Amino acid sequence: MSDSSRDLDTAAANAPDREAARPADHPSDRPPVLIVDDDPSMRAGLRQWMRLAGFEPVEAVDAEQALTLLTPDFAGCLVTDVLLPGASGVDLLRKVKAIDAELPVVLLTGHGDVSMAVEAMHHGAADFIEKPFDPDVVAAVVRRSVAHRHLVLENRALTRRLDDLQGLEARLIGECAEMRRLREQISHFARTDASVMIVGETGTGKEVVARALSDLSVRAKGPFVAVNCAALPETMVEAELFGHEAGAFTGAERLRVGRMEQADGGVLFLDEISAMPLLLQPKLLRVLQEREVDRLGGARPVPIDVRVLSAVNVDPQTSVAAGRLRQDLLYRLNAVEIRIPPLRERAGDARLLFDSFANRFAVDYGCEHPQLTADDAAFLATHDWPGNVRELRNAAERFVLNAAMGARSLCSLVIGDAGGDPAPRGRLKDMMEAHERRVIADALARHAGSIAPVLVELDLPRRTLNEKMARLGLSRGEIAEADAERSK
Ligand SMILES: Nc1ncnc2c1ncn2[C@@H]1O[C@H](COP(=O)(O)OP(=O)(O)OP(=O)(O)O)[C@@H](O)[C@H]1O
Ligand SMILES: [Mg+2]
């Protein structure tokens, strides 16, 4: 046993009295320390001390083995002897820095090897310690390096989330609080392997969310396999999902790899899962639990590694209560539930989405981005969009195309008409108010929010106009802004 490892043993025996020796509550909470040394007794000493100091030791006998043990975003630090069989500790340091320049590497050098130490520091070593060393010093250096590493990783995660959120803003447009929260949730849960169930009415963007979850995850490069359980005939769901061997049943001439197997290494998106035939639900549950698929007619199960995302357009508990969805399957699928609000509940977003779609279609079709009248704007804000974003997107497309052939009101395009908007129905007072609001908003928009010409045009005293605008919730600033925005 070397001197330094004897030192380690003695110090380790006293360790419980020291502050450094406080172990983490749970072994997996301990930061890893990769010890690289070909001398087994030195490794044993360091291992013991690192464990007592609250770290999780991982060991390698040489540089080559060490490199296989490093994972991206390795959460701890490396402690390596300079003299190793094959590549030296300094070579290892260089290679590690090429993989991750911010991964701390502490070098253990022979006595008096100053030039080696200088070279090591030059290549970015976190520190070097001369042998024989005091184990307390090693613990202190490792603790400092690990604390620094922790900060670096926190910073990286933060930068990554900001990048994610920026990317998501373009894919999932919406500025209301609910949409902001939705993007936060996606960026957070994308990095986990949890099963996510996406709940939202038709056209709210469930598939957009599923793809974003996949694209921001470690499985981004793997396959994304979407299965619409409602679109498959009941008799075909089993073969489609689980696959079959050649000759498994009449007509099964060739082996077929099921969708679940196709998703191996990636993401399986089970769309409209409540439409999954009840008889097959236990089989699906078994596959998800065992992580292996039984092909129809197969002799043995095939292991698969998939992350499962699913979507429903009605509350899954309603489907459970109606006996269409098994509760045990639901538990398996909704470790995380992401709810997308319907468009009518996203204040202000209809206009934002409409403008963005209309812009895109105007570019695609090579036409002008048409102006919205105050009526169109009011319709956008008050229509309840039962088909949600999909309906709005279609409306924007028709609006752009129709504008090129002579304008039509958005309302008539969406609700349909025989040459005019449908006759309004309801309380006379409400209809009068809506009409009054429309007339004033239109006049304000035409005069870019300036009051004087509106007073003349509508032949109203200033005070009456002010009162009406306050009662009808009209602001000239907003109208002028909306108008200016439109004419850009
Ligand atoms: N927030 C959004 N920003 C931009 N585009 C969106 C947004 N939400 C949805 N879309 C677009 O709306 C359309 C419908 O979205 P998607 O297909 O994801 O809805 P869905 O909830 O899966 O609908 P369904 O229940 O009918 O399957 C797509 O063209 C999608 O790109
Ligand atoms: Mg969908």
pLDDT digits (tens, 9 = 90+) for 379-401: 998 898 999 999 999 999 889 88
32-36 and 77-81 strand pairing: parallel
pLDDT at 71: 86
Residues 137 and 69 in one domain: yes
Among 341, 365, 381, give the residue marking a domain's end. Answer: 341
Task: State percent of the chain over pLDDT 90.
Answer: 54
Ligand 2 midpoint to CA 207 (Å): 5
pLDDT band at 426 (very low <50, low <70, confident <90, very high): low
Residues 285 and 381 in one domain: no
- The whole domain housing 380 covers 349-486
Residues 362 and 325 in one domain: no
> Is 174 part of any domain?
no
The CA-to-CA distance between both ends of the chain, in Å, stands at: 79
Among 293, 308, 341, give the residue marking a domain's end. Answer: 341
- The pocket of ion ligand 2, defined by CB under 5 A, consists of 206-207
Q: Residue 16: is the preceding peptide bond cis (ω within 30°)?
A: no
C-beta separation of 289 from 236 below 8 A: no
pLDDT band at 427 (very low <50, low <70, confident <90, very high): low
Tell me the C-alpha distance between 230 and 227, whole Å. Answer: 9
> Is 160 part of any domain?
no
Name every protein residue with a CB atom under 6 angstroms from any ligand 1 atom.
Answer: 172-174, 200, 202-208, 313, 353, 389-390, 393
For residue 262, pLDDT beyond 50: yes
Tell me the C-alpha distance between 382 and 371, whole Å. Answer: 18
Tell me the C-alpha distance between 258 and 296, whole Å. Answer: 10
For residue 3, pLDDT beyond 60: no
CATH code at 275?
3.40.50.300
Rg of the chain taking only CA atoms, in angstroms: 33
Residues 256 and 361 in one domain: no
With vertex at residue 153, the alpha carbon angle to CA 147 and CA 154, rounded to the nearest 5 degrees, is: 90
pLDDT band at 23 (very low <50, low <70, confident <90, very high): very low
Ligand 1 midpoint to CA 57 (Å): 48
Domain tally for the chain? Answer: 3
pLDDT at 365: 83
pLDDT band at 425 (very low <50, low <70, confident <90, very high): low
Give the 3-state secondary structure percentages of the chain, helix then strand then coil, rounded to 5. 55, 10, 35
- Ligand 1 atom closest to residue 389's alpha carbon, by position in its atom list: 12
Q: Mean pLDDT across the chain, nearest whole number?
A: 85
List all residues 6 or more positions away from 461 whose beta carbon is below 8 Å from its beta carbon: 455
Of 114-123, 235-244, 431-440, which has the strongest mean pLDDT? Answer: 235-244
Residues 13 and 146 in one domain: yes
Instruction: Kindly identify the ligand whose nearest atom is closest to the C-alpha of 202.
Output: 1
Residues 66 and 125 in one domain: yes
Strand-pair partners of 59: 35
pLDDT at 22: 35
Residue 127: φ, ψ to 5°: -170, 165
> Is 172 part of any domain?
no
Q: In what order do the strands lie in the sheet with 196-199?
A: 224-228, 267-271, 307-312, 196-199, 336-339
For residue 5, pLDDT beyond 60: no
Residues 326 and 423 in one domain: no
Residues 9 and 148 in one domain: yes
Q: Each residue of 199-236: pLDDT tens digit?
A: 999 999 999 999 999 999 999 999 999 999 888 887 78
C-beta separation of 54 from 60 below 8 A: no
Report which of residues 416 and 239 the model is more confident about.
239
Residue 469 Cα distances to 245, 433, 464, 466, angstroms? 72, 11, 9, 5
Instruction: Kindly identify the ligand whose nearest atom is closest to the C-alpha of 174.
Output: 1
For residue 36, pLDDT beyond 80: yes
Tell me the C-alpha distance between 171 and 480, whole Å. Answer: 29
pLDDT band at 8 (very low <50, low <70, confident <90, very high): very low
Residues 125 and 202 in one domain: no
> Is 452 part of any domain?
yes
> Is 175 part of any domain?
no
Q: Looking at ligand 1, which residue's alpha carbon is closest to its atom 24?
A: 202
Residues 322 and 360 in one domain: no
> Is 253 part of any domain?
yes
Residues 307 and 231 in one domain: yes
Q: How many CB atoms lie within 10 A of CB 435?
A: 11
With vertex at residue 391, the alpha carbon angle to CA 386 and CA 397, rounded to the nearest 5 degrees, is: 160
- Ligand 1 atom closest to residue 340's alpha carbon, by position in its atom list: 21
DSSP H stretches of helix in 2-61: 3-14, 40-52
Residue 206: φ, ψ to 5°: -65, -40
Q: Looking at ligand 1, which residue's alpha carbon is closest to its atom 10?
A: 205
Residues 327 and 363 in one domain: no
Which one, of 310, 238, 236, 318, lies nearest residue 271 by Cα? 310
Among 293, 316, 341, give the residue marking a domain's end. Answer: 341
Report which of residues 209 and 250 the model is more confident about.
209
pLDDT band at 447 (very low <50, low <70, confident <90, very high): confident
> Is 271 part of any domain?
yes
Compute the average pLDDT of residues 315-336: 95
Ligand 1 midpoint to CA 240 (Å): 25
pLDDT band at 24 (very low <50, low <70, confident <90, very high): very low
Report which of residues 286 and 299 the model is more confident about.
286
> Is 179 part of any domain?
no
Ligand 1 midpoint to CA 203 (Å): 5
Compute the average pLDDT of residues 438-452: 80
Compute the average pLDDT of residues 187-205: 94
Residue to mutate (ligand 1; options 185, 208, 312; most atoms within 8 A of CB): 208
**Block residue for tokens 């105007």:** 362
Range in 12-26, 159-173, 245-259 the model is least confident about? 12-26
Ligand 2 midpoint to CA 202 (Å): 7
Report which of residues 436 and 171 the model is more confident about.
171
Q: What are the counts of helices (DSSP H) followed by strands (DSSP E) for the chain?
A: 21, 14
Ligand 2 midpoint to CA 381 (Å): 24
For residue 343, pLDDT beyond 90: yes
